[in-house]
A and B are shown apart, each in its own frame.
Chain A
Amino acid sequence: MSRLSDAFVKGRTALVCYAMGGDGDTAALLQAIDEAGADVIELGLPFSDPIADGPVLQEAATRALGAGATLRGLLDLARGLRLRAPMVAMGYVNPIESMGAQSFARALREAGLCGAIVPDLPFEEAGPLRDALAAERLDLVPLVAPTTPAARAATIARSARGFVYYVSVTGVTGSRAALPEDLQNRLGELRAVSPVPVAVGFGISRPEQAAALKGKADGVVVGTALVATHHEKGLQAAADLVRSLRAVLQ
């Protein structure tokens, strides 16, 4: 049983929304995303050297750190919220190790989060954090990439808790004009072997891109587009984007 897995309801494509913690009024943003229909919320933990992120999320992390965001501060903020959607932390390994895997896991649970996604912690290095999270009944959500061979993808999926995050494009986070042609095939293969739901992200920015993935994945993740919209056009525009994405996935 996992609150994260349960957020992916059979026959319906879940909407997973990312917000960079500490970039603007995070409490208001998380509440607005939740009310606008997000099924799962990823709370971004800013890092000084985010190697898996494109320019939009890099700049958002720089703004957040410049404004004084800290891991503990963001988890304190999350603890005070009462959201409908389950929340999962998404951040790089060094701040997590710096706090200590067990302290991090405990702090996540106390803040009411359901798990973590760590893009620079591949399968071979993930054991200690996966165990620390499991001890708190939390999920470590692994990533599978377009370059991952099928056998390895199956191994990763079997280790997954909560859901598997399929990286749609070979590259860093950020909007793409087009998604790979074989994306639906790859999603089909992964869903066939995965015991947990499969969400697809990286590069999905527009409602029509999300619509094309309706039914092809258990969930669709939108990050960069939401962060950019929130930063450039404000809270209302971000909420509107979430609503339009939710509508096309209905």
Chain B
Amino acid sequence: MRGLPPLFAEEPVDPPDARGRFGQYGGRFVPETLIPALDELEAAWTEARRDPAYREELSSLLVNYAGRPTPLFRADRLARALGLSGRIYLKREDLLHTGAHKLNNTLGQALLARRMGKKRVIAETGAGQHGVATATVCALLGLDCVVYMGSLDVARQSPNVSRMKLLGAEVRSVVAGSRTLKDAMNEAIRDWVTNVRTTYYCIGSAAGPHPYPFLVRELQKVIGEEIAAQVLAAEGRLPDAVVACVGGGSNAIGALHRFVREPAVALYGVEAAGHGLTSGKHGASLSRGRPGVLHGARSYLLQNDEGQVSEAHSISAGLDYPGVGPELSHLRDQGRLKVLTATDQEALEAFQQLARAEGILCALESAHAIAALREIPPSPLVVANLSGRGDKDLDTILGALK
């Protein structure tokens, strides 16, 4: 049996402050009805993370069920195809059970839900990967599962809708607003406000009211812990740069957090530039937004002069979100996180380059990280997080390549 993964230490590194803030970002901007539930969640999480039984069960599931550790693959042909002289390593979260990093988080949260005695779990999903990961753990633990998904995403990510249904989850299509992740999250919050006594809300991004951004980061940072150990084993040192795509930011904070206090490691987040940063149709909240409050937290936000939230756009449903997690907002302001962007077209090209060079069909979200590899300063040793696999995107990709 493979060794257990390095799960969160008993005392967390760089936690938010007592009010759930990373710098000026985060907090709890939700209806009063939810405040006691957030207090309850925070207390349950604080207790669980110190409980060896919780950690052992989660570790065991991450190894024996999910397939951790995921490989770190040296992608020499991709480096050549991109014209890069340094080495590129791909962190293969696409090989995790259910096909994306999302399961790291849903396993930890579903165990927490069971511990808290909640029998019903709700989730929001954009690309459907978090919805699938939630439906999967609910099947595994015998919990009822309802997933909210924007009707536009239901149409463009239909394989994941089918997967959720086959796993026994109910998928509720949301027709309000932009009919994407933002609106799915609104509706999930409304469900939680209504059913808070019996329901666990499993948020998929490192976003939402405190303690979710912290909780999701702690559950996802296993990605970066593994990257550090694997690169050290392969190269005898830490990487020069780590790159991840940023929608809400769960794969990014998961891959990057381990390196925040390693000043020699440059950290890059890649946002969706959609049709272009000046087109008004993109998902680049860190690049083009300003601080605001959405979905329970203060963070960078795409909004108009009146403070109305703008509709985002990206070819990848997982990056099609006008907000971003509070900790990434803080790291951006500190200058620790460098923010890059890739357009729909650049992501499509990167998807094809990776497919032809390495035989990997990655998610369109992850293709944004690949597309940005040429944008970062030349570095001898770079790790890109391949957050998910591309099966769900085949219709979108084939349609766009016509």
Spell out A's residues near B (CB within 8 Å).
47-54, 58, 62, 65, 70-71, 92-99, 119-125, 142-149, 152, 156, 167, 170-172
* A99 closest partner in B (C-beta): B307
Task: Show 19 residue pairs from A and B whose CB-CB distance is below 8 angstroms, ordered by the A residue.
Answer: A49-B177, A49-B183, A51-B30, A51-B31, A51-B186, A58-B176, A93-B293, A94-B293, A95-B307, A98-B307, A120-B31, A123-B32, A124-B19, A124-B28, A125-B27, A145-B31, A145-B32, A147-B35, A167-B32
Partner of A71, one of B33, B295, B306: B306
| Interface Cβ pair total, 8 Å cutoff | 118
Minimal beta-carbon separation of B290 from chain A (angstroms): 9
CB-contacts of B155-201 with A (<8 A): 176-177, 182-183, 186, 189-190, 193-197
B186 touches A147 (CB 8 A): no
A95 in contact with B194 given A145-B31, A167-B33 (CB within 8 Å): no
Inter-chain CA distance A148–B34, complex, in Å, is: 9
Inter-chain CA distance A70–B196, complex, in Å, is: 33
Count of residues in B whose CB is under 8 Å from the partner chain: 36
Q: Does B305 contact A (CB under 8 A)?
A: yes
Residues of A within 8 A of B197 (CB): 147, 170
Residues of A within 8 A of B295 (CB): 49, 51
Minimal beta-carbon separation of A221 from chain B (angstroms): 15
Minimal beta-carbon separation of B280 from chain A (angstroms): 16
B307 touches A96 (CB 8 A): yes
A122 touches B307 (CB 8 A): no
Q: For the A-B complex with A49-B182, A143-B31 known, give 14 more contacts whose Cβ atoms are closer than 8 Å.
A: A49-B183, A51-B190, A51-B295, A52-B190, A95-B307, A97-B292, A98-B305, A120-B293, A122-B29, A123-B32, A147-B37, A148-B35, A149-B36, A172-B190
* A96 closest partner in B (C-beta): B307
Q: Does B250 contact A (CB under 8 A)?
A: no
Partner of A122, one of B30, B186, B189, B293: B30
Q: Does B353 contact A (CB under 8 A)?
A: no
Residues of B within 8 A of A95 (CB): 306-308
Residues of A within 8 A of B177 (CB): 48-49, 62
B193 touches A172 (CB 8 A): yes
